Amino acid sequence: MAKLGKFEFGEIERLAKGMKQVVDNRVIERWIRDLLLELAYRAEGKIKRKTPVDTGDLRRRWTVGNVERRGDAYVVEITNNLEYASFVEYGHRTGKDLTGWVDGRFMATISMKEIERMLPGYIEKKQVELLEKIMGGKV
């Protein structure tokens, strides 16, 4: 009779116990919130580095809000409350007759695209860290 091998259920039991902890303690929700905040602060740093400096006020005014749950989605806003921030971002008309144009710098737009490109690998790394935490470092 052929020997089919040995199967250890310990790993599956430990994973099941860890998953129960996730559901019971809302670890996943905390993980999502922490992940979004970390990504938002990374994006803010990128945006600030790309923000042109005259007085430095525009660069200093970038802020990261709180993570909020809206229905099935989580949202965190990165804002700048200076009235001219959108003109620097997207461009604006200029001159007495408003026929000239100043190109936008797109510091937020470009930074968010950079974050989106690195997102899959970053999320995968964070998922592995979460599983290691749940399973006690044995992944």
pLDDT tens, the chain, 139 aa long: 444 545 555 666 776 776 676 665 677 888 889 999 999 999 999 999 999 999 999 999 999 999 999 998 999 999 999 999 999 999 999 999 999 999 999 999 999 999 999 999 999 999 888 888 877 765 5
Domain presence at residue 139: no
In a domain? residue 1? no
Looking at the domain assignment, is residue 112 inside a domain? no
Q: Is residue 2 part of a domain?
A: no
Q: 52 burial class (0-12, 13-18, 19+ CB within 10 angstroms)?
A: exposed
Please give the helix or strand (H or E) that residue 93 lies within, else none: strand 91-94
Q: Is 87 part of a structural domain of the chain?
A: yes
Judge whether 90 lies within some domain. yes
Query: Residue 55 belongs to what domain range?
Result: 11-107+118-134
62 belongs to a structural domain: yes
The answer to whether residue 4 sits within a structural domain is no
- The residues, ordered by sequence, that sit 6+ positions from 37 with a Cβ below 8 Å of its Cβ are 64, 67, 76
pLDDT of residue 72: 85
Question: How many domains is the chain partitioned into structurally?
Answer: 1
